Amino acid sequence: MKLWEYIIYRLILAFVVIFFVIVIVFFVSHVIPSNPAALWAGAHPTPEEIEKAKEMLHLNDPLIVQFYYYLSDLLHGDLGVSIRTHNPVLEDISKAFTATLELIIVAEFFAIIVGIALGVYSAVKKNSWVDNLSRLFAISGVSLPAFWFGMILQLLFFKQLGWLPLSGRVDTVVMLEHPLHVITGLYIFDSLITGNWAVFKNAIWHIILPAATLAMYPVGLITRQVRSMMIEVLQENYIRTARAYGVPNWKIYMKYALKNAIAPALIVVGLSLAYTLVGAFLVEIIFNWPGLGRYATYAILSMDYPAIIGVVIIAASAYVFINLIVDLIQMYLDPRIRV
């Protein structure tokens, strides 16, 4: 298979996946004994209201007709209206998406810095106690139940030390006194370029704990990956040559070794991106972060199918495309794994 054929295959696959997801979620949510009309009408509806809601949601039509309605709306870019919040799903999602994006970016930033530093250090001090400790740390990172770790951080940094806020994205009062001009929806970025220091500081303050929680998994992955790549690189001939020429150690590590180890490590970053997307589900609940994960979880728990399908389309697309890009980079770097 040529490269472009492979890309096309993967793209087709992505669409098939997403289509299947739509079909499955749609039919499942209509077949299982639930009652979207009741969800729509709210608590204590009258029989007439349930009838109205049924009509509005086309629940009296045959399932296949309902599906046709849904698909044709979808093709026009209309994801429908959330049964739970009565808002257009697209609007809900696009608001939530930037919140999640901001969280993921900061978490990955954390992860890359800590992961590379730890990885390089333990490769250099291979098999020392520091190396063992960093291995334990890395494995702990991938073993932590994020929802629990977030709570422990809250206990420590909020309740005990009082250093950081418990949850949320930014304080209401700060936002009121210093209205933020939203450009990208990433509060930290927006407040930075508009010079809104109060909001900037506040947003940074709020993002530390959730981002640290979310970063634990990628930190573990990146540390391990960087370590093993560094060990491999440090055994290469040119490193030995450099040593023989008396190039100082730090220069060898930073300039020669790390440069070669970093590309494969970035692949892990890409892969972990896909993970953090899902990890954000639980972290956002703990930290009351108004993002996609919290939205999705509540949608799934209440079987709000337009919202579920909407989120799944976004999440699955992101996951599929991140994986595709990662695979392509991997193929570019290491032609041996060409399909």
Partner 1 sequence: MKKEEIIRVMKILVRNKLSLLGLIIIIGLVITALFAPWLAPYPEQAKGEPNLEEKLQPPSSKHWFGTDYMGRDVLSRVIYGARISLIVAVAVVSLGLLIGVPLGLLAGFKGGAVDIIIMRITDIFLSFPPLLLALLISVTLGRGLENAIIALAVSWWPWYTRLIRGMAISIKEKPYVEVAKSLGISNWKIIARHILPNAISPVIVQGTMDMGSAILEASALSFLGLGVQPPTADWGLMVSQGKDYLLNFWWYPTFPGLAIFITVVAFNLVGDTLREILDPRLRRRFL
Partner 2 sequence: MDKKILVATIVVIVIIIAAVGAYFAMSGEKKPGEQKPTPSTVIYGYMVEMITLDPSTEFSNSIVTLANLYEDLTKYVDGNIEPWLATSWESNSDATVWTFHLRENVKFHSGNPFTAEDVKWSIERTMRMGQGAAFIWDPVKEIKVIDDHTVEFDLKYSANLPLIASASYGAWIMDSKLLSSIGNDTQIADYLNKGHDAGTGPYYLASYDAKTQVVMKKFDDYWGGWNDKQFDIAIIKIVPDASLREQMVTSNQIQITRELPLDDIPELENNPNVKVDATPSYQELYGMLNTVKAPLNNKLVRQALAYATPYDDLVKYVLNGYGEVAKCPIPKGMPGYFDDLPTYSYDITKAKQLLDQAGYSNGFHLLLTYTAGDEAEKKVAELLKSSWSKIGVDLEIRALNWEQQWSFATSDPSKAQDVLIFYWWPTYPTPYDFLFNMFHSEEQPFFNLAYYNNSEFDHLIDQAVALEGTDMQKALSLYHQAEEILMEDSPALFLYNPDDVYVLSNTITGFKDNPGYPQVVFFYDLQKAS
Footprint of partner 2 on this chain (CB under 8 A)? 32-36, 38-39, 41-49, 52, 85-87, 92, 95, 158, 166-168, 171-173, 176-177, 181, 183, 190, 193-195, 288, 290, 301-303
Asked whether the CA dihedral 96, 101, 106, 112 is positive or negative, the reply is positive
> Hey, is 80 helix, strand or coil?
coil
Both tokens of residue 223?
């540390």
Asked whether the CA dihedral 309, 315, 318, 321 is positive or negative, the reply is negative
228 binds partner 1 (CB under 8 A): yes
Residues 138 and 224: beta-carbon distance below 8 Å: yes
**CA 118 to each of CA 28, 136, 226, 259, 291: distance values in angstroms, whole numbers, following the listed order:** 46, 12, 8, 16, 30
Asked whether the CA dihedral 159, 163, 168, 171 is positive or negative, the reply is positive
Both tokens of residue 248?
């100082």
132 binds partner 1 (CB under 8 A): yes
Residue 246 interface partner, choices partner 1, partner 2, none, CB cut-off 5-8 Å depending on type: none
16 binds partner 1 (CB under 8 A): yes
* Amino acid in the structure at residue 164: L
Residues 79 and 88: beta-carbon distance below 8 Å: yes
Whole-angstrom Cα Rg for the chain: 24
Least Å distance between CB 144 and partner 1?
Answer: 6
Least Å distance between CB 43 and partner 2?
Answer: 6
7 binds partner 1 (CB under 8 A): no
Residues between 282 and 321 that touch partner 1 (CB under 8 A):
282, 286, 296-297, 300-301, 303, 308, 312, 315-316, 319-320
137 binds partner 1 (CB under 8 A): no
Which residue, 121, 111, 127, is CA-closest to 254?
121
Residue 87 interface partner, choices partner 1, partner 2, none, CB cut-off 5-8 Å depending on type: partner 2
Q: Choose between 145 and 195: whose C-beta lies nearer to partner 1.
A: 145
Residues that bind partner 1 (CB under 8 A): 13-14, 16-17, 20-21, 24-25, 28-29, 32, 132, 135-136, 139-140, 142-149, 151-152, 154-155, 158-159, 217, 221, 224, 228, 271-272, 274-275, 277-279, 281-282, 286, 296-297, 300-301, 303, 308, 312, 315-316, 319-320, 323
